[in-house]
């Protein structure tokens, strides 16, 4: 069976080396691609150009490399695994959530937010999700190479949907901010802070070692959040300035 060897160069921190077979690689990649396609289809009144969508996806993926290196350093500093709840909270909120959400937020602001094709509130969600799915997809490949089938399956049902939820929250407020200049900074900050808080809370529940039931609670809360996110997508769809044009 064909195997794929992927290398990521990291100065002074070693080489990220991933060796996966084709079925495992597909399992790692397909969830992010399916979600990307679904959000593309949700943008039904004024579809985004393919170029910016691909740019967001691949730049999101590229961001995984420095983020993984920062997180590796953090694990070494805090200790692996973090045995105390305080250590876990620092890792979940202070490292994982902040580093990942700020990285994705900066990509959104730099790549697409000022552009003319960002011309309706839903575009904030669309581009935020494409960035997040690029990030989640390469992150999945890294985990697949290191931990194998079981972890990849679990992440397909948890970590990837979690990145979707955080991106929808962040993108929803970016979409509002773009077309509300007086409140732009406040709305952008609100989206970023909410994404960080949700990300940190989810990671804390999943990573803590007090009770497995707390991890179950975290997973159930994630799927509840996804239901709420579907309403946010629908809200921006309903308020699309292109909706009447499409209906006509």
Neighbours of 41 (CB within 10 A): 9
What integer pLDDT is reported at residue 74 of this predicted model?
A: 76
CA 155 to chain CA centroid, Å, is: 12
The CA distance from 229 to 232, in Å, is 5
Q: What sign does the dihedral 232-151-21-9 (CA atoms) show?
A: positive
Rounded Cα–Cα distance for residues 73 and 65 (Å): 13
Q: What angle do CA 152, 33, 201 make, to 5 degrees?
A: 55
> What residue has token string 């200049």?
181
Q: pLDDT tens for the chain, 248 residues: list them.
A: 454 455 444 333 344 556 667 888 899 999 999 999 999 999 999 999 999 999 999 999 999 888 888 887 877 777 666 567 888 898 899 899 999 999 999 999 999 999 999 999 999 999 999 999 999 999 998 888 888 899 999 999 999 999 999 999 999 999 999 999 999 999 999 999 999 999 999 999 998 888 889 999 999 999 999 999 999 999 999 999 988 775 54
Q: Give the pLDDT confidence score for residue 244 in this predicted structure.
A: 78
- Cα separation of 194 and 170, whole Å? 7
Alpha-carbon gap, residue 94 to 96, rounded angstroms: 6
pLDDT at 88: 86
CA-based radius of gyration for the chain: 18
- The angle that helices 212-238 and 122-147 make with each other, rounded to 10 degrees, is 150
Which pLDDT score is estimated for 16?
55
pLDDT of residue 79: 66
**Residue 12: which region, alpha, beta or left (left: phi > 0; alpha: psi -120 to 50)?**
left
pLDDT at 75: 74
């Amino acid at each position: 069976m064909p195997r794929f060897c992927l290398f990521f160069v990291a100065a002074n921190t070693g080489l990220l080396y991933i060796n996966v077979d084709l079925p495992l690689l597909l399992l790692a990649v397909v969830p992010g691609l399916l979600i990307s396609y679904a959000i593309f289809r949700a943008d039904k009144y004024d579809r985004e150009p393919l170029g910016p969508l691909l740019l967001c996806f691949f730049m999101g993926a590229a961001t995984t490399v420095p983020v993984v290196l920062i997180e590796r350093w953090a694990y070494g500093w805090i200790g692996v695994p973090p045995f105390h709840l305080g250590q876990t909270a620092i890792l979940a909120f202070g490292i994982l959530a902040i580093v990942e959400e700020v990285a994705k937020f900066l990509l959104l602001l730099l790549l697409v937010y000022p552009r003319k094709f960002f011309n309706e509130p839903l575009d904030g969600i669309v581009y935020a999700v494409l960035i997040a799915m690029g990030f989640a997809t390469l992150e999945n490949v890294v985990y697949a190479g290191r931990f194998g089938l079981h972890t990849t399956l679990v992440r397909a049902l948890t970590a990837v949907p979690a990145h979707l939820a955080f991106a929808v929250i962040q993108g929803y407020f970016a979409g509002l901010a773009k077309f509300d200049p007086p409140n732009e900074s406040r709305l952008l900050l609100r989206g970023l802070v909410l994404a960080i808080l949700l990300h940190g809370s989810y990671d804390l529940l999943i990573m803590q070692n007090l009770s497995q039931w707390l991890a179950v609670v975290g997973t159930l809360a994630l799927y509840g959040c996804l239901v709420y996110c579907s309403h946010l997508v629908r809200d921006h769809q309903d308020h699309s300035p292109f909706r009447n044009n499409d209906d006509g």
